[in-house]
Structure 1
Amino acid sequence: MQDGKLNVRAVERALDILLCFTSDSNLAMTEIAERTELHKSTVHRMLSTLEAKGFVERDRASDRYHLGMRVWELAANLSQSDDPAVIWLPEMERLRDALGETVSLYVRDGKERIRIQAVQSNQAVRRVAPVGVRLPLYVGASGKVLIAYADPLEQDMLMREADASGVIDPQRFREQLEEIRRIGYATSTEEREQGAAAVSAPIFNHAGKLAGALAVSGPAGRFTMDIMRQCAPQIMESALRMGTMLR
């Protein structure tokens, strides 16, 4: 009986630790100990177990914790919503906090792309990304990602239509798409909007089908090509995590 009570208490403590992340996306162990009023050694043991099970992840550089992939996988099975814009929001917020720039989510609708979710940068000088706006498909990092990873038949149709309308240089554009598929992401600097730069990566579902494009954007003067290349691995990692959240 005593063992049963101890087990229940351990579960309660673990849940209390997870609940600390409802108000903050990343926390130090000492902050968690203060909020839960638990001894640091107890918090350390709990965090080690939660990390091993994938419910939290530790940033080795800063020694701070954030929610892990298991939480997002559970969230993906919530019956109240199968909307990717809702399911992916916490991961987008985590990426915004990590990189400091605006994070957007795009899907393709015919020959346009639609921004269905956005998390704005907290910096004073930032790129504001309104949700629901329709944008050209053939310019911008996310647009190129949506074409590069489209089904082959759809991609051929899009390329033929764009070629006929004179929107793109077919040869140069196909070379860009090949490069995107080779490195796994796309970049753009002032292609659609003066003073804006962006880097984007594809999101695939469990069947390997393109589900959307994750993009991070900011002022071109700050979000340079070198910085975008440095950020690309984190963006691709987030896109991979987001894909696992889909049913």
Structure 2
Amino acid sequence: MEDGKLTVRAVERALDILLCFTESEDLSLTEISARVSLHKSTVHRLLASLEGKGFVLRDAASDKYRLGFRIWELSANLNHSDDPALILLPDMERLRDQLDETISLYVRDGMERVRVQAVQSNQAIRRVAPIGARLPLYVGASSKILVAFAEPQVQETLMEGPAWPPGLERSAFLQKLDEAKTLGFATSVEEREPGAAAVAVPIFNRAHRLVASLAVSGPSNRLTLEKMMEHAPVLMEAARRMGKMLK
């Protein structure tokens, strides 16, 4: 039994190492060690195993690691036919050109939201968050959308869970969810990070099931509340079009 636990722990640690590359293209041993909170010798052994199987590659010149060919072989067998991140990308690009701000697509994964697609603004000052970024569900415009239009048990689990911030009033949060359902959109101004604002709307598929949150984000001094109110109808119309493309 002890050997089994050690094996599972080694697998979890190896996966944690691979997940480091969701935010960076290449990383040194020191950087990976810091991110997974493991000793360098342990990380080095795991990297050697991953390298041997082709899941990571080491650049001898820079002594940095990056994802290997096995990752791409696995991804080639993904079924992309129903993937909103790919299907909706052209429409997201058009929306970016129309609103001149960053457009993001978020889905709920348990008690977190994940940024599965993004089209960055062409403006010099813009919000940049990596695809694959995981964020809490209790803060931000897209979080309100993903919780407000989800099943009631999602709200209960979120508010009763260990990650719920002690200082966040449940009644105030529920009021924001009700507002989002009534208006059909949600806004946030410097809720998650200083100087950032966003407006988000739900995307429902043809079966009227919530699929994702579509958001416009940018610096709060440019994406003012007035500007977000102007963007909201445009965003909702875009979400209706996108939803018709999804099963």
Q: Provide Cα deviations, 1:154-202, integer angstroms capped at 9, x if missing partner.
A: 2222233269652621110111111110000000011001111000000
**Structure 1 residues 80, 230: closer, same or farther in 2, change over 3 A?**
closer
Task: Look up the SS of the partner of 2:223 in the other structure.
Answer: coil
Amino acid aligned to 1:218: G
Aligned match of 1:113: 113
Give CA-to-partner distance per residue, 1:129-178, whole Å, 9 cap, x none: 21111111111100111000001222222233269652621110111111
1:201 aligns with 2:201: yes
Residue 245 of structure 1 corresponds to 245
Match of 2:227 in 1: 227
Match for residue 184 of structure 1? 184
Contact preservation (8 Å) 2:206, 2:245 = no
Q: 2:37 — aligned with what?
A: none
Quote the Cα distance in structure 1 between the aligned partners of 2:214 and 2:165.
Answer: 28
Which stretch of structure 1 is more off in the superposition, 97-106 or 124-133? 124-133
Structure-2 separation of matches of 1:85 and 1:126? 21
In structure 2, the partner of 1:126 is 126
Going from structure 1 to structure 2, the CA distance change for 1:223 and 1:82 (only over 3 Å counts) comes to: same
Match of 1:88 in 2: 88
TM-score, structure 1 as length reference: 0.65
Q: Note closer, same or farther for the CA distance 1:207–1:162 as it changes in structure 2 (3 Å cut).
A: farther
Q: Which is further off, 178-187 or 146-155?
A: 146-155
What is the rounded CA distance, in whole Å, between the counterparts of 2:184 and 2:218 in structure 1? 20
Q: Counterpart amino acid of 2:216?
A: V
Q: Is the 8 A contact 1:104 1:129 kept in 2?
A: no
Secondary structure of 2:217's counterpart equals: strand
* Distance in 2 between residues matched to 1:176 and 1:105, nearest whole Å: 20
Q: CA deviation at 1:205?
A: 1.2
RMSD of equivalent CA atoms: 1.7
| Equivalent residue letter for 2:239 | A
Question: Hey, what's the Cα distance between the residues in 2 that align with 1:173 and 1:147?
Answer: 10
* Matched residue SS, 1:95: helix
Post-superposition offset of 1:80? 5.8
What amino acid is the match of 2:119? Answer: V
Q: Within 2, Cα distance between the matches of 1:94 and 1:130?
A: 20
Residue type of the alignment partner of 1:88: L
The equivalent of 1:100 in structure 2 is 100
C-alpha contact 1:102 1:129 (8 A) present in aligned 2: no
1: CA distance, partners of 2:186 / 2:89: 21
Give CA deviations for 1:94-143 in whole Å, capped at 9, x if unaligned: 11000000000000111111000000000111111211111111111001
Number of residue equivalences: 169
146-155 or 96-105, which moves further after superposition? 146-155
How high is the TM-score relative to the length of structure 2?
0.65
Distance 1:172 1:165 in 2: 13
CA distance in 2 between partners of 1:167 and 1:202 (Å): 27
Unaligned stretches of 5+ residues in structure 1: 1-78
CA contact (8 A) 1:114 1:132 kept: yes
- Work out whether residues 185 and 200 of structure 1, in 8 Å CA contact, stay in contact via their aligned partners in 2: yes
In the alignment, is the contact (CA less than 8 A) between 2:138 and 2:164 conserved in 1? no
